[in-house]
């Protein structure tokens, strides 16, 4: 099954953009994933090809018309999940990416201006997705972020088949730090254990560093997922409660 991405945008020229180079680009050429891009403007009904209008109730900016966006969406809808990129959407996680990547693909709606007319979300089954607590000028870059994360998990896209599994977030932990040659640089050496050749010791060191880094850098992640890792905070709490 080939992952199929359909993107709905007012700026089709932005695609494939970064998804056309490196890993994702090569995979696209090799048909390991597919992309079609629909210009929302092609579904405007009037002579001026209008896609937006002023906000009801007044205020700044323009709002994407629900009738035009729905017509564009209906033209590609085929049962794949429909995702709209919105800052108020559910924050994207590696877990959601994994599930999406294992499916048939995704239909991705890119907003512009002030965003979409709310009735669109009432009338169609649409999952709103955010890529973080900041505002972009449009949904296209957010859609590329989402698709890139899905594409790299497709079979045969990444070099080593295993390289997706040890990454940050996959076990609810950040990844351990990396080193490569030279062994000594500006007086700093690669940790001894990584040069020992003792695979069990190396694995233990990496696990310990992953746990330590997660606790220090992302206490929120540690609180949520620490259970899965050794020495979890909730495990410790459970012990003291007993």
Residue ranges in contact with ligand SAH by CB under 6 A: 85-88, 110-112, 114-115, 130-132, 134-136, 138-139, 142
The token pair at 197 is 């050749």
Pairing relationship of beta strands 52-53 and 188-189 according to DSSP bridges? unpaired
Which residue, 65 or 112, is less far from ligand SAH as judged by CB? 112
Which residue, 35 or 85, is less far from ligand SAH as judged by CB? 85
Q: 166 CB contacts (<8 Å, ≥6 apart)?
A: 175
Q: Which residue is nearest to ligand SAH (CB)?
A: 111
In the complex, minimum distance from the CB of residue 139 to ligand SAH, in angstroms, rounded to a whole number: 3
In the complex, minimum distance from the CB of residue 225 to ligand SAH, in angstroms, rounded to a whole number: 23
Which residue, 15 or 222, is less far from ligand SAH as judged by CB? 15
In the complex, minimum distance from the CB of residue 178 to ligand SAH, in angstroms, rounded to a whole number: 29
Which residue, 135 or 160, is less far from ligand SAH as judged by CB? 135
In the complex, minimum distance from the CB of residue 110 to ligand SAH, in angstroms, rounded to a whole number: 6
Which residue, 91 or 191, is less far from ligand SAH as judged by CB? 91
Distance from C-alpha of 51 to C-alpha of 62, rounded to nearest angstrom: 10
In the complex, minimum distance from the CB of residue 40 to ligand SAH, in angstroms, rounded to a whole number: 12
64: left (phi over 0), alpha (psi -120 to 50) or beta: beta
Rounded to the nearest 5°, which phi and psi values hold at 83? Answer: -120, 130
In the complex, minimum distance from the CB of residue 173 to ligand SAH, in angstroms, rounded to a whole number: 25
Which residue, 32 or 124, is less far from ligand SAH as judged by CB? 124
């Amino acid at each position: 099954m080939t992952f199929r991405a359909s993107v709905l945008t007012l700026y089709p020229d932005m695609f494939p953009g970064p998804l056309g180079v490196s890993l994702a680009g090569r995979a696209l050429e090799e048909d390991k994933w597919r992309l079609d891009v629909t210009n929302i403007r092609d579904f405007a009904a009037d002579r001026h090809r209008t896609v937006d209008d002023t906000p009801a109730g007044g205020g700044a900016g323009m709002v994407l018309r629900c009738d035009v966006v729905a017509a564009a969406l209906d033209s590609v809808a085929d049962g794949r999940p429909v995702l709209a990129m919105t800052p108020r959407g559910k924050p994207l996680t590696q877990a959601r990416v994994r599930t999406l990547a294992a499916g048939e693909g995704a239909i991705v709606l890119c907003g512009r201006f002030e965003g979409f007319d709310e009735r669109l979300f009432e009338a169609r089954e649409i999952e709103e997705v955010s890529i973080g607590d900041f505002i972009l000028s449009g949904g296209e870059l957010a859609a590329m972020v989402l698709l890139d994360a899905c594409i790299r998990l497709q079979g045969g896209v990444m070099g080593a088949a295993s390289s997706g599994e040890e990454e940050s977030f996959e076990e609810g932990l950040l990844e351990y730090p990396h080193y490569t040659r030279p062994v000594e640089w500006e007086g700093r050496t690669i940790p001894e254990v990584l040069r020992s050749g003792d695979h069990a010791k190396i694995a233990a060191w990496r696990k310990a560093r992953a746990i330590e880094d997660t606790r220090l850098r992302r206490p929120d992640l540690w609180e949520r997922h620490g259970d899965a890792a050794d020495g979890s905070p909730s495990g410790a709490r459970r012990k003291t409660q007993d």
